[in-house]
Amino acid sequence: MTNKVLEQQQLEDSLVTKPVFAELEALLPPVEQWLSELSVRQMSAHTIDAYYAGLYQLACFLAQAQLNWTRCDKRQLAKYIAKRLDTDALAISSVQQELSAIRHFYSWLIEQGQARINPTTGYQLKRAPRPLPSIADGDLIAQLLEQPMPDTPEQARLWIRDKAMFELLYSSGLRVGELVGLNVADLRIDAKGERGEVRVTGKGNKTRLVPVGRQALKAINRYLPHRNLWEERGDRALFISEKHGTRLTTRAVQQRLKVAAARAGIAQNMYPHLLRHCFASHMLSGSGDLRAVQEMLGHSDISTTQIYTHVDFDRLTQVYDKAHPRASQEKKTPR
C-alpha cells in the first residue's frame, strides 16, 4: 500500500475505540495476505490500494457490530452498502468498486477454506441512471450544414471537405473514430450518384453497412476531386488533410466542427458525437424502428439504443406540457 493510504488508515484507527480496535486487528490479516498474493501476481498498486481501502471500511463496519468475515451475510452486506450510500454519501460507482473488491476477497476466502458463503452472490447494486445524451434540433443542424460558403478560397476548399464529413456523421450516425477510419473503398455510390452506403468498422472490429443520405452523397461527390488532388503517398483514407495529404485525426475533426459552428453563429457546444446522437434521435422520431436504428448505430445491445426513445419521449412530454390545456399547473383562483 502507498504511504498516503497507510496514513489515512492510521488516522481512522486513532478514532476507533479500544474494544473495536481489537476486533478490527483480528479482521485485517486475511485482507493483507490476499493483497500480498495479488501483488505477487503483478496487480497494479493502484488497484491493491483501492481494494484495501474498500475492505478496510467493511472491516470497520463488522468490528463495530462485533462480527467476523464468516458472519457477514447478505443482510449485513445490505446494511453496509446502505451506510456507504446514505451516511457516507459515496457515489454509486465508488460503492460498486468496493463491492467488486468484497466479491473477489470472499472468493479467495472460500478457496482458502476460511469462509463457506460469499455474501455478494446474487447481490446487485442498482446502477445510476445513464444521463440522456444532448440533442440538437433539426433547425440547428440545418444552420450548421447549410451555412454560406466561406469567402477565401482556402477556407472554401476546407469547408467542402468539412461539410462532407459532417453530412456523413449526421447522415449515417458514425462515431468520429469510425469516420476517420474510413477508406475510399469503404464508400459505395451507384452510377447515378443518388444512392450509396458506407462500410463501417466499429467497436470490436465489427463491420456494418450503413445507408448514406442524398445530401451527404452530394457533399462527398463534391469533395472527392479535392481529395484526389491532396492525397499523397497513396493514402487510402477517405478524409485527408489538405496540408499533409494524409488521414485526418479525430482531434482535427473535432476542431473543424467547432470552427464551422462558430462561423455559423451557433452558441451550443458542437462535437462530432452530438451529430451521432441527433441522427439516432431524429431517426427514431421519424421511423420508430428501434431495431433498424440499432443496426445502423452498431450497438450490440438494444438497451443502448433505447436511451434515444427516452430522449424523444422527453421532447414529447415538453410539447404536451406546453400545449395541453389540462397539463399545466392550474391557475390560482382569486380569493
Cα 104–chain centre separation: 26
The residues assigned a catalytic role are 175, 203, 273, 276, 299, 308
| Rounded Cα gap, residues 280 and 290, in angstroms | 9
Q: Which of 160, 215, 216, 230 is nearest to 187 (CA)?
A: 216
* Cα dihedral 46, 49, 51, 54 in deg (nearest 10): -130
Phi-psi label, residue 130: left if phi above 0, alpha if psi -120 to 50, beta otherwise: beta
- Integer angstrom CA distances of residue 171 from 53, 60, 98: 48, 56, 42
